[in-house]
Structure 1
Amino acid sequence: MTESLFSLTHQDPLTILRVKLRSTYIADEQVCMDALLKSLDLSLDKRTQMSAQAASLVRHVRNHSSPTMMEKFLGEYGLSTKEGVALMCMAEALLRVPDKATIDALIEDKVQAGDWSSHLGHSNSSLINSSTWALLVTGKLLAPVDAEKVGSAMRGLVKRVGEPVVRMAVAQAMKELGSQFVLGRTMKEATWRAKKLTAQGYTHSYDMLGEAARTAEDADRYFESYSAAIVDLIPHCNNDDIRNNPGISVKLSALHPRYEWSQRERVLTELVPKVLALALQTKAANMGFNIDAEEADRLDISLDVIAAVLAAPELSGWHGFGVVVQAFSKRAPWVLDWLYELARSLDRKIMVRLVKGAYWDAEIKRAQVIGLTDFPVFTRKANTDVSYLACAKKMLAMNDLIYAQFATHNAHSVAAILQLAGDKHAYEFQRLHGMGESLHASVMAQGGIRCRVYAPVGAHQDLLAYLVRRLLENGANSSFVHQLVNPEIAPETIAQDPINVVLERLEQGLSCRSHAIVRPQDLFAQNLASHRKNAKGWDITDAPTIALMQSAREHLNPSYWQAQPLVARFEGTLEAPHWVINPAVGGERVGQVHMSSKEQVEAALQVAPLGQAEWLAMPLAERVACFEKAADLYEDNATELFAILAKEAGKTWLDAVGELREAVDFARFYAQEMASGPQVQGRGVITCISPWNFPLAIFSGQIFAALAGGNAILAKPAGQTNLVAYKAVQLMHAAGIPAAAVQFLPGGPHEVGVPITSDARVNGVCFTGSTATAQHINTAMATNLAADAVLIAETGGLNAMVVDSTALPEQVVRDVLASAFQSAGQRCSALRMLYLQEDIADKVLQMLYGAMDELTLGNPWHLHTDVGPVIDAPAKTKIEQYILQHSVAGRLLKHLSAPTNGLFVGPAVIKLNGIEDLKEEVFGPVLHVATFAAKDLDQVVKSINAQGYGLTFGVHTRVDARVEQLIKGVHAGNTYVNRNQIGAVVGSQPFGGEGLSGTGPKAGGPQYVQRLRKPFRVKACAPSGHLVSLDQVQKAIDSLPSKGLLEWQKCSNRVSELTQIFGSQANQLKDLCRNPVLLPGPTGELNQLSTVARGVVLCLGPNRHSALLQAQTALAQGNGVVMVANDLNLPKCDLPLVVIQGQLAATDIVALSGYHAVTANSDAGYQRQLRQALAKKVGPLLPLISETADPQRYTMERHLCIDTTAAGGNASLIAAGE
């Protein structure tokens, strides 16, 4: 357990409280609520008085004052309307967009999305009513007009997009919107605007707008901004009582670019002096100084910083140091206890601002994403309100050392505190500028109670994120502000007692937690069809979790691991061992590997069919249980697996945790696939060849999938990562999977790889690796294996990301860093080519360079390491030579230095004209950058597609129409919008590419296991008839675009069209490409799996029946078809279909071009010739489809993942909040 900076013993009260605080991080919500209710101990009479006073306050506010413009706005355009969400998205992006064309595109995109005239007459405010949108057209406020005029104005606005007056009007409207929440652009302007309220007795707490720092330059700028703001406030600190002077709020994450637990030592060394310097400034001015609350994963380090600063002797005797506590946190009461004990131990008096909490939706999503056992925050609004009351009561009892500051716009919270409090001078209320004015005015009128306004200060371009957050928090139907302006909601309803709400649920036998929010472990068990348990998460920002992980692996450092072939029933001798060297530490021996001998390979091939029989003889329930047990064993042995991944593969803590979770997800996902799929025969023996970059996850995923398909496995891991693969197979066998069903064959490509991919006893290969190796395997299989032997290959990619000028640079830099440099760039999905719109390129690149400077390169055994080593010396040499080549050519923009002890390569950024300059994938921490003009976006798409790869693709934009344009235009297996493009999640984001990037189907998707099962086939026959000319077939292929191929792919009723031509038999066809499937995933993220046509399919029959079946099935998926077979006399039709009588020589398909698949159901000899001919083609691996009636074989899968919270928060989750 990590201790704070100052000296503590294990019996020290602060230590005890810190332990208790940490233990409630993700505690059970019911347990927390029981403790809170017990601590409140309020009688029913007391609670009734509170609610009655709250209702009285609501009536008084409604009868004696008018809501602010912003309150009216939120009442009309809340999160329950798509117009409100469109407004939020436009407000978030508009003011930062520099170029006119993109501004116009953004306005058009958001305005067209709404039914604006439906809001007319709902508000008595001329601005909110018709003039909200008249403002967008004319740039000035107008009197109310009728509905038709507003509708006409909006239609006219869309037509006039592009005119300067529209652009200026919308920008002015957004600024007006923002000014309702921001007191001034500068501190001088803010204090001038504050004079009116100051004269009425209000005080202010000022906050300099800005988000977390990404670079040291950002952090320095924020420090100077805070320091200058303090200087500007000195003339306004005229009262001896610090409580009557203004204050300032400081965001610690704005003052350090790596404000996170993994960088704790650096943060405490660098940040504490900065914060202390600001605190001393405010002390000298007799001003309040508040440390803002941060995300849940930063609370622990925030407490360390707070303790270190407050312990400074120079702050003795000052009562202005303040801390913000968030009531939605399950740790909030313990934070208060800890702060009180800290103040007591240091003989200080401090201020504590109690808030409900910000970024609740982000906390929910993070817990789901990383697989926590529960949430760090309460999931129901009433629970947070109860927590707020309990914390308020606790704070009021601590008033000897804590000056309580209650930030709330909620009438019940205000009434409760008025009832609970004694001394009116022992606390104050706080509200946000622009919100809660009438409520707080009512409180002020009672006399003697202080009220303070939290006042953001900053330029228009800095208000965006803050503005959207306020819109989100106050625009939900359940928010007090939203309800207050709705006259249809009775005051008694608004003022209801949250304790009653909680108790009523308990009396009804209901859980106190929200059932609308899926718990992390149930993320993939949201319906009857899916009951999969989510993989266990390890939160490496949580001090107790880190301490346990570190303690558990102490005995493993140093440690040696052994690996050897695992061949059933083989009793021969082992080959001499090879040493495994840690890539991060030069010369450090990690373990030994005995490679497979020829005899062991042959023995494995012989026994594998027996292993398949043994596996299939087990009842289905037992096989499923084996997978579930293997998943559990992986989690139980996590410490050792993490250690091997770090020592052998150079995995950082973050990557090791992600890899293990993915392997566990594969086991449970494929268990579900096995249990729910058709119980047909497997193909036989499947060779699984996995890469070193995911030596546990991909290795395990291939094996579990092939087993689920009913096969026996010959598993060959990459030569660099045999140790972790060996451990995985041991755990599989321990879980009950027969030794003969999964045999482990470590060894080189020639000694092991060649025989197990070119032996006729093998029925298929699952391969992940380079494109060139996949092509070699394909050739070997075509020559030696059955023609229908399956090859599933996932290969590399020249993965691109396109960023336009509406994107938020901070988000872009965050996602580019992860996509390009996490795992030292050694991911198939890693970003290789970044396209930046020229209008923002310089700004984004400068921020990217600064963020790169903050990365820590080093031994992945240490938590603080961000970037580990590359895998081996040849890789290091190749990457370094590539970087040097571009450096000599003057194209190297940025290159970090790297540690010399170990196989490290410093992340690099290289300037190119475009992706066409990128001749091959550089598998390491190298990012290429090109710029583009907004008008040339289509050309960028063409350039990306022209390279022939199609693995991952990223987009950053706020313009929905551009998202649509890019996801339809770019040919990629996995597309990510407004997030990074790595880390696909099993079952949620099935992964795999197309073109040169792979064959499909996607790993962790619905088709993978099916491809490994023995398929149903139509009875084969030999081809007959005259040979058709190559030229005739090529012309037929070339003619398909003119026959309406693109229109056919867009057709929504293809099966109906085919029925008219082929008759009633076509009614049996399935069109898989019509309806995308939504897949489960965390809140705030859309995951959609689609199928698309392959393109042009050669249907080679050879007889009429098989040719018609092939053509119909291919056409139903949107493909163009060239049929070459006998006895084909089809009626003329308006379809992308060409019919040629005869047969095609198998060797001719090598010379043909423009087709994407071949399907035939011929005799074995002709099928083999076709397979061999296809293997000779240069380019993507084209399929030979013998499962002619299976519609999946005529399609490709594409996955789309959108971060729907990128514009600032999760509108749907907040709107649905209970």
Structure 2
Amino acid sequence: RGAGPRAPSPVRLQGAMALRRARALAAPWRLLSCAGPGRRAAAAAAAASPEHYGLHIDGRSVEAASGSVRPVENPATGGVVATVASGDAVDVDAAVRGAQAAFEDGRWSSLAPRARCRVLFRAAELLRQRLPDFAELETRQTGRCLREYKAQLGRVPEWLEYHGAYAASHGFEGRLPPLTDASDHVNLVWRVPLGVCGLITPWNHPLLIATKKISVALAAGNSLVVKPPLEAPLTVLKMAQLLEEAGVPPGTVQVVPGPGPDAGEALCKHLLVDRVDFTGGTATGVRIAQSMAEAGRVKPYCAELGGNAPVLVFDDVRSVEEAADGVAFAAFIASGQTCVSAKRILVQRGVAAEFTERLVAKAKGLRLGEPMLPDTDLGPVISAQQLERIEGQVGTARAEGAEVLCGGKRPDAARCALAEAGHFYEPTVLGSVSPENTAFAEEIFGPVISVSEFGTEAEGVALANNSKYGLGGAIWTSDVRKALRVAQKVRCGVMWVNCHHRNDPSSPWGGFGQSGIGRENGPESFEEYTSTKSLTLRTSDARENWFGDRNARYS
């Protein structure tokens, strides 16, 4: 007191800087305040009229038949990133018929696998050159930290290269199965593309998950119609343009953003669609299966659905601090909005107290704010609706006996300068969670985790398997034999030991139970995007007369 004005605290300084940065991103003219009147007017016009994206059909950007347009919101600032045409069943029908025509005339499906491989490699190189632009656009439409996207998207071109190379080198190799007692017949077996594939992609990893599906579908020779989410469709639309620039013929990749009940359902039910590949929630995955059955068309279906991943932390971990850091990464990357985010943290009693204390301290220290800034650790969740859902689930968990060890609420302005503008939720750790609690039984798709204790290895495995889901899971231990033993017992399709979120185009990805059916990545995904064709060829010149020769045989 009496010493003059106080210096602003580091928290206030950081918050003020983040807010100024967010305002600049939401209003481009602020960046040109020192420019001449002409440039300021142009910037103001750009801010007032955000970029517009149409549907991508037959190589052109077109408006929806209904004229419907939706804004794409920046979840961190509430500003409008762009507007996008919103398609429905009419647009889906046009896209599917265009893709069917492209498949039938062979502009892509009849190319040699090596020719398709060369195009996909060109696309990978173009994508690498433009990754900074894609990363920034992803951040603006999802609110996920730019630092995360720079790390993640750097590997996305590998999916184009892997699937292109696999198709060219192994995917279409034929075989000659021997026919018993039929030396005058030859059996030829080879793989063929399916036709038109419908891909429905989510908002949490827009470019990565779309590229995982698109790359293998194209490598296999299919045509495809992609329905990206209305919340984050922009990079998928950009990707379609890039693929055509690389040499994919127009009509081969169609993109129709639109609401799930309109565009998504129409795509799944369309009789000319030969396969559906979906990533999203379990309830939606079930509805898709029902809608395909109602349409009366049998077709293969791949679904990567909910997660609620268990993480087992044993008391023989090399370092409790390292395990806590690793689990925090597993849980809070992408603000907890990934299908394999750590959700159910199961800790052996010998280290439970220390581990939980360190994990809570880590969560409390994470910095929330403008995702474009390099020092931000957590961005917002995708929408106001999702934020309200998280709040409701945490409220239910508390009513059922869970203890909030940290978080459990929206941040105030002191912790997050964009708290009022964006859809932020504090990283939350819940303790005293029983298997019957909502926080244990249901996936909370946000920065919320539960901590439960176990005694023996068998008890830990039983807790891990006490779930209807089975997508991803992790084990933290210094005993490799224990790691292998436990990994075999835990019912998850993807497992990690002393790490998390590692992914590769060669490694199959999919779950058990209510986490879905089918597999992405690896040879398994290529096989799902193709079908075998078997041809039996008679090589003998001898005449066959079944009805004239009573000793003739046909098997």
Task: State the TM-score, normalizing by the size of structure 2.
Answer: 0.79
Q: 1:912 to 1:711 in 2, by over 3 A?
A: farther
Partner of 1:968: 488
Counterpart position of 1:746: 257
Opposite residue 308 of structure 2, the aligned amino acid is L
Q: Does 1:672 align with 2:190?
A: no
Whichever residue aligns with residue 232 of structure 2, its letter is T
CA deviations on 1:158-204 (whole Å, 9 max, x unpaired) are xxxxxxxxxxxxxxxxxxxxxxxxxxxxxxxxxxxxxxxxxxxxxxx
CA distance in 2, matches of 1:856, 1:986: 32
SS of the equivalent of 1:681 reads strand
Secondary structure, aligned partner of 2:530? coil
Instruction: Give yes or no for the alignment of 1:566 onto 2:56.
Output: yes
How far has the Cα of 1:957 moved from its partner?
1.1
- The verdict on how the C-alpha distance between 1:797 and 1:598 changes in structure 2, with shifts beyond 3 A counting, is closer
2:541 counterpart residue number: none
Aligned-partner Cα distance in 1 for 2:136–2:264: 27
1:1006 equivalent to 2:516? Answer no
Partner of 1:891: 403
Report if aligned partners of 2:508, 2:525 keep a CA contact under 8 Å in 1: no
Quick check: 1:957 aligned with 2:451? no
CA-to-partner distance for each residue in 1:869-922, whole Å, 9 max, x for gaps? 100111000111222333454521211762322010111111244445323211
Alpha-carbon distance in structure 2 between the residues aligned to 1:852 and 1:995: 31
Aligned to 1:582: 74
The question of 1:614 aligning with 2:134 is answered: no
Q: Give the distance between the partners of 1:772 and 1:659, measured in 2 at CA.
A: 28
Of 832, 836, 839, the match for 2:343: 832
Equivalent residue in structure 1 for 2:246, among 731, 735, 743: 735
The 1:906–1:1018 alpha-carbon spacing in structure 2 relative to 1, beyond 3 Å, is farther
For 1:801, the equivalent position in structure 2 comes to 311
* Equivalence for 1:922: 444
Q: Between Structure 1 and Structure 2, which shows a larger proportion of helix residues? A: 1
Percent identical: 27
| Matched-pair contact (CA < 8 Å) for 2:56–2:62 | no
| Paired AA for residue 205 in structure 2 | F
Amino acid in structure 2 at the alignment position of 1:799: A
Partner amino acid, structure 1, of 2:444? V
Larger radius of gyration: 1
Check whether the contact 2:327–2:342 (CA below 8 A) recurs between aligned residues: yes
Kept after mapping to 2: 8 A contact 1:570/1:600: no
Match of 1:850 in 2: 361
Aligned partners of 1:562 and 1:723 also within 8 Å: no
Does the 8 A contact of 1:580 with 1:592 survive in 2?
yes
Amino acid at match of 2:508: P
User: Could you tell me whether the CA contact under 8 Å between 1:719 and 1:748 is conserved in 2?
Assistant: yes
Report the equivalent of 1:605: 96
Alignment partner, residue 181 of structure 2: none
Matches within 5 A, 1:1027-1046: none
The amino acid that maps onto 2:480 is: D
- 1:915, 1:944 within 8 Å by CA — same for their partners in 2? no
Match runs of 1:1102-1141 below 5 Å: none
Matched residues in 2 for 1:579 and 1:603: separation? 23
Match of 1:1015 among 532, 545, 551: 532
1:940 is the counterpart of 2:460: yes
Number of the residue aligned with 1:877:
388
Summarize the Cα distance change of 1:960–1:640 in structure 2 as closer, same or farther, 3 Å threshold: closer
Match of 2:147 in 1: 654
Contact 1:820 1:927 in 2 (8 A): yes
CA distance in 2 between partners of 1:722 and 1:649 (Å): 10
Say if 2:505 is the partner of 1:986. Answer: yes
Instruction: State the secondary structure of the residue aligned to 1:615.
Output: coil
Deviation at 1:653, TM superposition (A): 2.2
Structure 1 residue ranges without an equivalent (≥5):
1-262, 267-554, 1020-1104, 1107-1218
Match of 1:643 among 132, 136, 147: 136
Partners of 2:459 and 2:61 lie apart in 1 by 62
Aligned-residue offset at 1:819 = 0.6
Q: Which has the higher strand share?
A: 2
Structure 2 residue matching 1:757: 3-state secondary structure: helix
Q: Distance in 1 between matches of 2:464 and 2:141?
A: 35
Deviation by residue 1:719-756 (Cα, 9 ceiling, x = unmatched): 21111111111111111111211001110112211111
Partners of 2:214 and 2:162 lie apart in 1 by 13
Stretches of structure 2 that go unaligned for 5 or more consecutive residues are 1-10, 15-42, 174-190, 537-553
Can you list the C-alpha shifts for 1:691-745, whole angstroms capped at 9, x where unaligned? 1001001011111111112211010001211111111111111111112110011
Deviation for aligned residue 1:777: 1.2
1:710 to 195, 198, 221: 221
Inter-partner Cα distance in structure 1 for 2:291 and 2:397: 37
Q: Please give the root-mean-square deviation of Cα atoms over the aligned residues, in Å.
A: 2.6
Judging changes above 3 Å, is the alpha-carbon distance between structure 1 residues 673 and 791 closer, same or farther for their aligned structure 2 residues? same
1:595 to 86, 90, 98: 86
**Structure 1 residues 1000 and 583: alpha-carbon distance in aligned structure 2, compared to 1, 3 A threshold:** same
Determine the structure 1 residue equivalent to 2:186. Answer: none
CA distance in 2, matches of 1:571, 1:1008: 30
Which residue identity does 2:313 align to in structure 1? V
* d(CA) in 2 for partners of 1:642, 1:859: 15
Equivalent position amino acid for 1:817 in 2: A
State whether residues 670 and 708 of structure 1, in contact with CA within 8 Å, keep that contact through their aligned partners in structure 2. yes
Structure 2 vs 1, CA of residues 607 and 864 (structure 1 numbering), >3 Å: closer, same or farther? same
**How far apart are the structure 1 equivalents of 2:428 and 2:240?**
37
Query: Structure 1, residues 1007-1034: CA drift from partner, whole Å, max 9, x if none?
Result: 1011110234799xxxxxxxxxxxxxxx
Matching of residues 70-81 of structure 1 within 5 Å = none
1:757: how far off? 0.3
Query: Given the superposition, is the C-alpha separation of residues 829 and 560 from structure 1 closer, same or farther in structure 2, using an over 3 Å criterion?
Result: same
Question: Which amino acid in structure 1 is aligned with residue 87 of structure 2?
Answer: S
Shift of 1:622: 2.5
Question: Which whole-Å CA distance do the structure 1 matches of 2:361 and 2:61 have between them?
Answer: 58
d(CA) in 2 for partners of 1:813, 1:862: 25
User: Do the aligned partners of 1:916 and 1:947 also contact (CA within 8 Å) in 2?
Assistant: no
Which has the bigger relative contact order, CA under 8 A and spacing at least 6? 2
Asked if the contact 1:663/1:698 (under 8 Å) is kept, the reply is no
Deviations 1:944-963 (A, max 9, x none): 32423211111111223321
Secondary structure of 1:1015's counterpart equals strand
Q: Deviations over 1:21-59 (max 9, x none)?
A: xxxxxxxxxxxxxxxxxxxxxxxxxxxxxxxxxxxxxxx
- Once the two structures are superposed, what CA deviation does each residue of 1:1059-1099 show, in whole Å capped at 9, x if it has no partner? xxxxxxxxxxxxxxxxxxxxxxxxxxxxxxxxxxxxxxxxx
Q: How many residues align?
A: 463
Q: Distance in 2 between matches of 1:890 and 1:704?
A: 43
- SS of residue in 2 equivalent to 1:833: strand
State the alpha-carbon separation in 2 of the partners of residues 671 and 561 from structure 1.
Answer: 33
Question: Counterpart amino acid of 1:793?
Answer: A
TM-score normalised to structure 1 length: 0.37
> 2:194, 2:530 within 8 Å by CA — same for their partners in 1?
yes
Deviation at 1:644, TM superposition (A): 0.7
**Residue identity opposite 1:563 in structure 2:** Y
Cα deviation for residue 600 of structure 1 reads 2.3
Name the residue aligned to 2:237.
726
Residue 658 (structure 1) shift:
3.2
Hey, what's the Cα distance between the residues in 1 that align with 2:277 and 2:61? 28
Letter in structure 1 aligned against 2:454: F
Change (3 A) 1:912 1:798: farther
Please report how far the alpha carbon of residue 964 of structure 1 lies from its aligned counterpart in structure 2 after TM superposition. Answer: 2.8
Deviation at 1:860, TM superposition (A): 0.6
Partner of 2:378: 867
* Secondary structure of 1:738 counterpart: coil
Q: 1:738 to 1:961 in 2, by over 3 A?
A: same
- Three-state SS of the structure 2 residue aligned to 1:775 is helix
